[in-house]
Chains A and B, each alone.
Chain A
Amino acid sequence: MQVATGISILHGIALGKIRIFKHPEYVIDEKTVDDPIPELNRFEQARLKVQAQQQVLYDRAVAAAGEESAAIFQFHADMLDDDDLLDACKTIMVEQHHTAEYAARQGFDNVAQMFKEMEDPYFQARSADVIDVGNSVIEVLLGLDTDSLQGTEPSILVAEDLAPSETVKLDKSLLLGMITREGSSNSHTAILARSMNLPTLIQCKDISDDWDGKFAILDGYNSCVYIDPTQDLIDSLTRKHNEDLKKEALLQELKGKTNTTIDGKTIKVYANIGGPSDIGSVQANDAEGVGLFRSEFVYLNSKEDPSEEMQFQAYKRVLETLAPKLVVIRTCDIGADKTIDYMNLDKETNPALGFRAIRICLTRKDFFKRQLRALLRASVYGNLAIMFPMIISLREVREAKEILAECKRELANEGQKVADNIQIGIMVETPAAVLCADELAEEVDFFSLGTNDLTQYTCAIDRQNAKLEPFSDTHHPAVLREIKMTIDAGHRHGCWVGICGELGADLSLTETFLRMGVDELSVNAKSVLPLRKAIRSIDLSKPASTAGQTE
């Protein structure tokens, strides 16, 4: 077995035979000809043929990857109308009596060289486009067949580099993956590979012609390729590949569908995220919104207290990208198991019951205001909801809201815009909040049940203490009753109620939660579609089918 590494463009696995993708080698004759007219005609015919090809590639790329990725082929077609380039080629044929092939090589290479010498990387990269088009013209002139390079059976293509036109020309039904020695993650090939969802490895320096015809596994997760892999590897990566396929099939089947039970009840399924880098998974898994955006990342990823501006940029990015989807951002939940040096928090003997979350925020008002101002400023870029964690009393909610109102007034005086439809909610994760839910509901738009902390506080079970495992029950009836009480209290006062803790993704409880009347479940992005599938198979008009009921 041989292992070669590269840079992975896509997390995915391809298993199959290697096909070395190589252009036929040719030498361009430097001979001169007496009569330039036939050469001029040949050149013109080749030019028109390649231009027409580029139009076909453009249409194909639009269909496969969208207009943005396809635009490059419009550039290729336009290039073949450029007077400077065409005049240069004609001059070589008419004055130097060279062949059309020779003229094309010289003419296109000169333009490519011009781009190569430019400073800006964008313009430098265009040199590959010019060479690509030039090669196409020459191959047409030489009558070379480049359509059969891919072979006739499904394979992983291995090439020195793939030009954009080559990538698009490939028959996708025969393409398992791509490996190139060159290429950058911003090249058109990489962009197309991403939009065509193909496992692809670039910058794989060890590719070899000897691989041709051998069985290989391209492991995009680990950025490597195994040539002649061991049976163990084949087994384990086949399993992983099958999981991917299953997920992909589920995605295709469920994408765009609502979370509706057989008898017609629809709830929302949102995703929990930890930072702007998770935006992609929200979209890929078709979550309707974000039910819990843990804002801790802005604090944990920073060496010092993060500025308002830095936070604003991060929140703005998430809201803007996901608009018009609702994004529930939970304010700072530092403390307990999440501590940070610059916060200078005292060591506590009982941190879970200690100085954390909203308790820190209401004590360190300036710190809290920086986050609230950043959130308010970002609100105009999307659909924001603000959620306060660790609430135990009405006083805390009122105080937090008063500070928020103060920030709004300040921003208005500074002439900054703030959205006027921002929802306000709280985490219900303490027994105190459950028991005061009726009063709290009067103050807010929504409740989100944090079942992990709620279970720990209700059962007095430290969730990090492994010794308590035999005593812990994630479906403890007390917690399920609290969830029901919270939903009922919320509904009495016009609040929507969701669950953002781990129980939300527990499929054995989905029917129970639906019967309780939950409005929203927020789960890890990868659980969104399995949950949607479960919801769509439940029929609430029939007698309850699961255990774990509240009564």
Chain B
Amino acid sequence: MKEFKYTITDPVGIHARPAGLLVKEVKAHASKVTITTADGKSADAKKLLALMGLGIKQGDTVTVSIEGDDEDAAAASVEKFMQDNL
């Protein structure tokens, strides 16, 4: 399993547009990607509504964990995606 932390810089947080793009990014990989907030709530990053339900805002630090056969590639591309879009 791979894991990294990321602090959201987008002013609206994980809002509809980047959430939708993130889901598509994650779905391109076989690995399971889980996003966990500082207060312990987590969601499968392939599920748009659950992801938005976390209500992640600007300044929040989330833990992203990636588990599966392509976890190295998935972790790298998800981290890059977040830096570029969130």
A residues in contact (CB < 8 Å) with B = 71-72, 74-75, 78-79, 81-85, 111, 114-115, 118-120, 122-123, 126, 129
Contacts and interface: CB of A to CB of B under 8 A. Distances in A.
Given A119-B55, A120-B55, A123-B55, A75 B16 contact: yes
Nearest to A71: B17
Interface-central residue, B12, B47, B48, by most chain A CB under 10 Å: B48
Contacts of A81: 48
B52 A78 contact: no
Contacts of A114: 49, 53
A411 B13 CA distance: 34
Interface string B1-33: 000000000001101110110010000000000
5 contacts: A74-B20, A83-B47, A119-B55, A122-B13, A126-B52
A111 B13 contact: no
B55 A118 contact: yes
A74 B21 CA distance: 10
Nearest to A88: B49
Given A78-B23, A122-B13, A122-B15, A85 B52 contact: no
Interface of B: 12-13, 15-17, 19-20, 23, 46-50, 52-53, 55, 57
A215 B82 CA distance: 53
Contacts of A120: 13, 55, 57
Contact of B16 (A83, A84, A126): A126
Given A78-B23, A120-B57, A72 B50 contact: no
Contacts of B15: 122
Contact of A82 (B16, B48, B57): B48
A450 B20 CA distance: 54
B66 to A, nearest CB: 19
A71 B16 contact: yes
Contact of A84 (B17, B20, B47, B57): B47
A551 B53 CA distance: 76
Given A72-B16, A122-B12, A122-B13, 18 more contacts: A71-B17, A74-B16, A78-B48, A79-B49, A82-B48, A82-B49, A83-B46, A84-B47, A85-B49, A114-B53, A115-B52, A115-B53, A119-B55, A120-B13, A120-B57, A122-B15, A123-B55, A129-B16
B48 A79 contact: yes
Contacts of A74: 16-17, 20
What are the 5 tightest A-B residue pairs by CB atom distance, in nearest-first order?
A75-B16, A78-B20, A71-B17, A82-B49, A118-B55
B49 A111 contact: yes
Contacts of B19: 75
Contacts of B20: 74-75, 78
B8 to A, nearest CB: 12
A78 B20 CA distance: 7
A84 B49 CA distance: 8
A534 B72 CA distance: 66
Contacts of B50: 82, 84
A118 B46 contact: no
A114 B41 CA distance: 14
Nearest to A118: B55
B31 to A, nearest CB: 16
A126 B48 CA distance: 13
Contacts of B48: 78-79, 81-82
A123 B17 contact: no
Contacts of B47: 82-84
A123 B52 contact: yes
Contact of B53 (A71, A118, A129): A118
Nearest to A80: B48
A75 B17 contact: yes
A168 to B, nearest CB: 16
A75 B49 CA distance: 10
B26 to A, nearest CB: 12
Contacts of A71: 16-17
A454 B44 CA distance: 70
A143 B20 CA distance: 29
A67 to B, nearest CB: 10
Nearest to A85: B49
B85 to A, nearest CB: 13
A75 B20 CA distance: 7
Contacts of B46: 83
B36 to A, nearest CB: 17
A78 B48 CA distance: 8
Contacts of A79: 48-49
B50 to A, nearest CB: 6
Contacts of A115: 52-53
Nearest to B14: A123
Contacts of B12: 122
A79 to B, nearest CB: 7
A124 to B, nearest CB: 10
A334 to B, nearest CB: 36
Contacts of A78: 20, 23, 48
Nearest to A74: B20
A72 B16 CA distance: 7
Contacts of A119: 55
Nearest to B57: A120
A81 B57 CA distance: 24
A71 B16 CA distance: 8
Contacts of B13: 120, 122
Interface-central residue, A79, A82, A119, by most chain B CB under 10 Å: A82
Contacts of B17: 71, 74-75
Nearest to B48: A82
